[in-house]
Amino acid sequence: MSRSAITLKSRKEIASRANFRCEYCLLSERVSYFSFHIEHIRSIKHGGNNKLENLAYCCPDCNFYKGTDIGTFVGSELNLVRFFNPRIDIWQEHFEIQDAKIDGKSEIGIATVQIFKFNEIDRLIFRKQLVELGLYP
């Protein structure tokens, strides 16, 4: 996966477009210990490119779990569902937050929550603390 074509100017534009939040789990970069990543929504491996409409601002956890995947199976092994695409999908239509836990409201949401491990215990505890501090979502 080549990232060399993503310029500093593009990185800044992508971060600003996302309001410096992960476009998947909505974590704010300012409360993260780690720098966020520029993520390929459609991975290079699957024909993606470095154009702005294929790039998302992404926390390290979401990017790690997504990897080069673009979807997964929901419900049955015959039902292949793509992940949430922050360029074309509206977050609130696919997810809801209940007590810091993120649930999928659609098959796209369910597929994304499942593979990105939004509710892994460490992430959930951290989000609960952020909610209490008024820093999430």
Using rule CB under 5 A, residue 62 touches Zn ion = yes
Using rule CB under 5 A, residue 14 touches Zn ion = no
Token pair for residue 6? 């993503």
Q: How far is the CB of 23 from Zn ion (least distance, A)?
A: 8
Stretch that binds Zn ion, among 21-29, 71-79, 81-89, 102-110 (CB under 5 A): 21-29
Beta bridge partners of 89: none
Binder of Zn ion out of 24, 36, 83, 136 (CB under 5 A): 24
Using rule CB under 5 A, residue 18 touches Zn ion = no
Using rule CB under 5 A, residue 102 touches Zn ion = no
Q: How far is the CB of 122 from Zn ion (least distance, A)?
A: 13
Best CA proximity match to 24, nearest among 105, 99, 94: 94
Using rule CB under 5 A, residue 22 touches Zn ion = yes
Q: What number of chain residues touch Zn ion (CB under 5 A)?
A: 5
Best CA proximity match to 6, nearest among 47, 72, 52: 52
Using rule CB under 5 A, residue 41 touches Zn ion = no
Using rule CB under 5 A, residue 25 touches Zn ion = yes
Task: Report the b/e string of 87-122 with b at 16+ CB within 10 A.
Answer: eebebeebbebeebebebeebbbbbbbbbbbbeeee
Q: Give the Cα separation of 87 and 128 in Å (integer).
A: 27
Which residues contact Zn ion by CB under 5 A? 22, 24-25, 59, 62
